[in-house]
Amino acid sequence: MSLKDYFSTRKGFGVLSTADDNGKVDAAAYAHPHVIDETHVAFIMGDKLSHANLQHNPYAVYLFREDGGGYEGKRLYLKKERETGNSKVIEETCKTEWPGPYCMSRYLNDSFLVYFTIESVLPLVIFDGNK
């Protein structure tokens, strides 16, 4: 199943983890990513700590846990590629992924659309039956 299909058919909870240039880690709740293709995703980010960390350290991990109990989900290991502050692009991306009132421009002020290359995709939990 493609990442686009996966994230369009699963409900759950996501966390984006970043670190500053000294290695101090931050974790923040995030909606599912905007999947561009199998090797690229993007997130709409406010001008807050996660975004600030990415200005100094381009690496991040997105952890997604599916609803329903258990430990189904994915971990995306990411490297920031670029970003845009273009409000029209941000609003259109928001409306495509998360239609609703929170995609109005007044809620997206001081936001960025941050593009990442996916370096690795792993399941949320890896079970080793031998241990």
pLDDT at 48: 95
The Cβ of residue 85 has, within 10 Å, a number of other Cβ atoms equal to 11
The Cβ of residue 104 has, within 10 Å, a number of other Cβ atoms equal to 12
Task: With respect to residue 129, please indicate whether it lies within any of the assigned structural domains.
Answer: no
Contact at 8 Å (CB) between 57 and 20?
yes
Count: domains in the chain: 1
The pTM (predicted TM-score) of the whole model is 0.91
Task: With respect to residue 118, please indicate whether it lies within any of the assigned structural domains.
Answer: yes
Task: With respect to residue 84, please indicate whether it lies within any of the assigned structural domains.
Answer: yes
CATH number of the domain that 19 lies in? 2.30.110.10
For each of the chain's 131 residues, which pLDDT tens digit applies? 899 999 999 999 999 999 999 999 999 999 899 999 999 999 999 999 999 999 999 999 999 999 987 889 999 999 999 999 998 999 889 888 877 777 877 778 889 999 999 999 999 987 655 55
Task: With respect to residue 128, please indicate whether it lies within any of the assigned structural domains.
Answer: no
Task: With respect to residue 63, please indicate whether it lies within any of the assigned structural domains.
Answer: yes
Sequence-distant (6+) residues with CB within 8 A of 105 are 87, 91
How far from 45 is each of 16, 50, 119, CA to CA, in Å?
Answer: 11, 8, 20
- Strand, helix or coil for residue 56: coil
pLDDT at 129: 53
Task: With respect to residue 130, please indicate whether it lies within any of the assigned structural domains.
Answer: no
- In which domain, by residue range, is 110 found? 3-123
Task: With respect to residue 91, please indicate whether it lies within any of the assigned structural domains.
Answer: yes
How far from 114 is each of 7, 61, 86, 89, 109, CA to CA, in Å?
Answer: 18, 14, 11, 11, 15
Task: With respect to residue 131, please indicate whether it lies within any of the assigned structural domains.
Answer: no
